[in-house]
Chains A and B, each alone.
Chain A
Amino acid sequence: QKEVEQNSGPLSVPEGAIASLNCTYSDRGSQSFFWYRQYSGKSPELIMFIYSNGDKEDGRFTAQLNKASQYVSLLIRDSQPSDSATYLCAVATDSWGKFQFGAGTQVVVTP
């Protein structure tokens, strides 16, 4: 059974601090990795994707991938109250993007 695991949280982060989210996956054949943000009652919104080992930065977000250890992480710098949401990790094992999703980590940014 292919699995994607995330801590459910909630992860409480003071405003202005760094939020660190982790995701592990079981299928070593996984090729592409995605982070989505989902506000309560809304659909997921793509934040980042990463295909190669290392770091990828986009604004306040940094995705980190370590294929040998089978984990991908997301850092949110200078956290804002608007970052309060559930963050979903998704992993694709084939080129057509059939994803496996984690259950998500709830992030709460406190003023």
Chain B
Amino acid sequence: DGGITQSPKYLFRKEGQNVTLSCEQNLNHDAMYWYRQDPGQGLRLIYYSQIVNDFQKGDIAEGYSVSREKKESFPLTVTSAQKNPTAFYLCASSFESPNEQFFGPGTRLTVL
């Protein structure tokens, strides 16, 4: 089955810890994206990558880091510098054209 997988589904972090969220796709998509969703709000772009070994900051990149060493994988690290990390994190991917984005199931991160 082709699709996008994210793990873990739920993640709990203590104050001061870095955590890494996994995102893998087998759709052969070129571009991958990380979004954050807070209750009652739309999605906000954290980082995106159009090709391997290249990525760009989105609207809310502070406190986050990414890597794109393989086309299939785009992990997101939430660092201790992110002051309010509790949120629903969504990974998406797309071709350049057509550019519809398809989403993984999400990771819900809670800071204890």
Q: Which residues of A contact B (CB under 8 A)?
A: 4, 8, 32, 34, 36, 42-46, 49, 88, 90, 92, 95-99, 101-104
Closest-by-CB residue of A relative to B98 is: A49
If A43-B104, A44-B103 touch, whether A95 touches B43 (CB-CB below 8 Å) is no
A95 to B98 CA separation, bound complex (whole angstroms): 9
Contact assessment for A98 and B43 in the assembled complex, using a CB-CB cutoff below 8 Å:
no
Q: Which residues of B contact A (CB under 8 A)?
A: 31, 33, 35, 40-45, 48, 50, 58, 90, 94, 96-106
Give 12 pairs: A residue, B residue, CB < 8 Å, sorted on A. A42-B106, A44-B43, A45-B103, A46-B100, A46-B102, A88-B43, A95-B99, A96-B31, A97-B101, A99-B101, A101-B44, A103-B42
Q: Whole-angstrom distance from the CB of B37 to the nearest CB of chain A?
A: 9
Contact assessment for A43 and B105 in the assembled complex, using a CB-CB cutoff below 8 Å:
yes
